A and B are shown apart, each in its own frame.
Chain A
Amino acid sequence: MRCVLLITHDLPLSSDHQELDDGPESDELIQLITQDGERTQGSVLQRWIQDVTDEQLGSLYEDMVVIRRIDTEATYLQRQGELALWPPLLGQEAAQIGSARSLRKDDFVFSSYRESGVAYCRGVDFEDLTRVWRGNSHSSWDPFVLNMATPQVIIGAQTLHATGYAMGIKNDGADSVAVTYFGDGATSQGDVNEAMVFASSFQLPVIFFCQNNHWAISEPVSLQASVPLSRRAPGFGIPSLRVDGNDVLAVMAATRSALDRARSGGGPTFIEAVTYRMGPHTTADDPHRYRNVDELAGWAAKDPIARLEKYLKSSGRFIDGFQRLVADKSDAVAHAMREACKNMLDPEPITVFDNVFSEPHAALTRQKEAYAHYLSTFAAAE
């Protein structure tokens, strides 16, 4: 059966479902580097990464290793009581690095809470990677410095923010793109479906980047969808791509293709990056309760970092010295993040009242003044 449409940027946009003779089978994943680290040929996406050199692949490898190290260190910090919670991305490095490294500075990201790898690529300070999870604030960075909105906790809500932002881009006549990240569970949410309606109706420059990591806390993707998630978008008139999310090159190619479509007025694209969350949903849950070890082992064999490592070794360009440099950088980054986290000062109590409103608010001002006075009585007693 050939029912999933693969539309790349140079195909006419149409709500009609076309079938491409050279397109993938319905459930086939687009893959450019195999599990064994071999480059494939013949994919329609191949041309989007023709310019990527092995040195650049080495750079992507470095990013993935560093973000995995950050992720591991943050998990340790949680176990040691320095963080209240952490949402690991273990296993999803290729999906995040491959997509985020394809973006321009002036593209704008609306993500969920698991996209630490994307935030890293946008240039977030190490301290800010842990600030929220330590409980010091509800968000870390300035969205307009990173061009990345504060991560969203409500599932799928950010997809609409991307849609609205893309409306603004289109109104402004700009060629930047709004990119929204969400998971497989989010595709069941009304907001995500409404976002696809808006994106399609107004032909907005937005990319729906779905990391299908197979589990929404304890609920398998089969509970969210009985067919591949990529099949959903064409029903909204949005072309979709289903890529191997553990293949950094395939993710990059798909993202570049979608970005090009969006920049040239072709409208939205839905990318399903099929990957796997190797760890828990957050440090608060126990995946052993809801999934079996065989499944985990199967996905471990598809590890995105190991795969690229195999390729780089086989290409002859991967040398031990480089691997050592990457490991050293990872250690240095993890150390910097740990130090920043542990040295973070608790916020001042009275700041709980700050920034509720942009402008003075009589009721809140009264409460703030009363509480400041209350606090001062403790200070006076000391």
Chain B
Amino acid sequence: MQSMTFGRAINAGLHKAMENDPKVILMGEDVGKLGGVFRITDGLQDHFGANRVVDTPLAEAGIMGSAVGLAYRGYRPVVEIQFDGFIYPAFDQIVCQVAKLHYRTQGRVHMPITIRVPFGGGIGSPEHHSESPEAYFTHTSGLRVVSPSTPQDAYVLIQQAIASNDPVLYFEPKRRYHVKREVDEAMELGALPMGSGRVVVPGSDVTLVTYGPLVPTAMDAAEAGAEDGISIEVIDLRSLAPIDYSLIEASVRKTGRLVVSHEASQTGGLGAEIATTITERCFEYLEAAPVRVTGFDIPYPPSKLESHHLPDLDRILDGVDLALGRRATLLGQKG
């Protein structure tokens, strides 16, 4: 076991995947000499050469469309989108081509493309650098969407994503890049399959579901709740498409209460999807309506205001209170 940052863990996972399969190619803006704007691909071009770590022209549709052609040729491209807000020029190639070619060709063409997206806020960036666009992609059939929350998971999930014959969007919580934890590089990829979530804090009073950047905040909430006599079970989704509903169902049947939290705006977001599905499947177990604690339905605000937009410890605890019917809340809009 060795201690490494979240970013370094992705790098190590990429390195291992490239070593294992010569068909794995990295491509994107600045991924070569610079090692990416976040240095996630640092040193990989030196090691594997410019043909396998390709600095591309500044053109997101071009990168994504070329990855499609490479996949046709039998390669497994790993594409870096520099920032979340820059993915939109590639949207057509992702949702019309990457997502649908396997279906369109009756399974003859595989699209084993991994799309790395540094996402989310909290780092004081300008506009277009802090967004959470994951729901656009979870809405599209043919795509898998994952988001790691720990260095260990980052290391495993990137390898699972690359190994998958399906296209995978790999959302990296950029504000956690510098978090340092132990990583077991010998961990078997099959130990926790890509579509699985996991319980990171067990509890019995309320189920708190989140992913990526908010997992540590949710764990803080569980700790704060415990001090207040509330037992919060925290679930890290890991996989946003598909969602490991059996895990959430089991938890809600135990706790009877559900809170879902994400940075993305509320309307049409994953919180809505999870709340509805769990209501459909566990209605008779629910003691209260599911609660969403999310970003507001606004464009991502200027960085001096982002702390108001992003769910934090207090807002999540507020949501937990609402689910427990404990007192009037912001979310309940009661006096």
Binding site for B on A (CB under 8 A): 108, 110, 137-139, 142-144, 149-150, 154, 157, 159-169, 171-172, 178, 190-191, 194-195, 197-198, 201, 354-359, 361-364
Q: Which A residues lie within 8 Å of B103 (CB)?
A: 138, 355-356
Interface class of chain A by DSSP: helix
- Chain A nearest CB from B108 CB (Å) reads 5
Q: Which B residues lie within 8 Å of A139 (CB)?
A: 104-106
- Chain B nearest CB from A171 CB (Å) reads 5
Is B70's CB under 8 angstroms from A160's CB?
Answer: no
Which residue of the partner chain, among B66, B71, B74, B105, contacts A163 with CB atoms under 8 Å? B66
Which residue of the partner chain, among A150, A159, A166, contacts B105 with CB atoms under 8 Å? A150
Apart from A143-B105, A355-B102, 11 more pairs, CB < 8 Å: A149-B72, A157-B97, A161-B68, A161-B69, A166-B69, A172-B73, A191-B62, A197-B57, A358-B102, A362-B242, A363-B243
Is A168's CB under 8 angstroms from B73's CB?
Answer: yes
Is B92's CB under 8 angstroms from A164's CB?
Answer: no
Q: Do A190 and B61 form a contact, CB below 8 Å, given A143-B108, A164-B69, A198-B66?
A: yes
- Chain B nearest CB from A1 CB (Å) reads 30
B331 at the interface (CB under 8 A from A): no
Bound complex: CA A359 to CA B112 (Å): 11
Is A358's CB under 8 angstroms from B69's CB?
Answer: no
Is B92's CB under 8 angstroms from A163's CB?
Answer: no
Q: Which A residues lie within 8 Å of B144 (CB)?
A: 357, 361
Which residue of the partner chain, among B54, B65, B165, B245, contacts A358 with CB atoms under 8 Å? B165
- Chain B nearest CB from A137 CB (Å) reads 6
Size bracket of the B interface:
35 or more
Is A356's CB under 8 angstroms from B105's CB?
Answer: no
B275 at the interface (CB under 8 A from A): no
Bound complex: CA A172 to CA B242 (Å): 35
Is A164's CB under 8 angstroms from B142's CB?
Answer: no
Give A170's nearest chain B residue, CB to CB.
B51
Interface CB pairs A-B, < 8 A, 21: A110-B69, A154-B96, A160-B62, A161-B65, A161-B69, A161-B97, A162-B69, A164-B77, A166-B69, A167-B66, A168-B73, A168-B75, A172-B73, A194-B59, A197-B57, A197-B59, A198-B59, A355-B107, A362-B195, A363-B241, A363-B243
Is B73's CB under 8 angstroms from A169's CB?
Answer: yes
Which residue of the partner chain, among B57, B69, B70, B164, contacts A359 with CB atoms under 8 Å? B164
Is B96's CB under 8 angstroms from A157's CB?
Answer: yes
Is A194's CB under 8 angstroms from B109's CB?
Answer: no
Is B92's CB under 8 angstroms from A154's CB?
Answer: yes
Which residues B24-62 have CB closer than 8 A to chain A?
Answer: 25, 51, 54, 56-57, 59, 61-62
- Chain A nearest CB from B242 CB (Å) reads 4
Is A168's CB under 8 angstroms from B195's CB?
Answer: no
Bound complex: CA A149 to CA B111 (Å): 13
- Chain B nearest CB from A217 CB (Å) reads 19
Bound complex: CA A166 to CA B65 (Å): 12
B220 at the interface (CB under 8 A from A): no
Is A191's CB under 8 angstroms from B65's CB?
Answer: yes
Q: Do A358 and B74 form a contact, CB below 8 Å, given A194-B65, A198-B57, A198-B66?
A: no
Shortest beta-carbon contacts, A-B, top 4: A164-B69, A160-B65, A168-B73, A194-B62
Is B106's CB under 8 angstroms from A355's CB?
Answer: yes
Give A355's nearest chain B residue, CB to CB.
B107
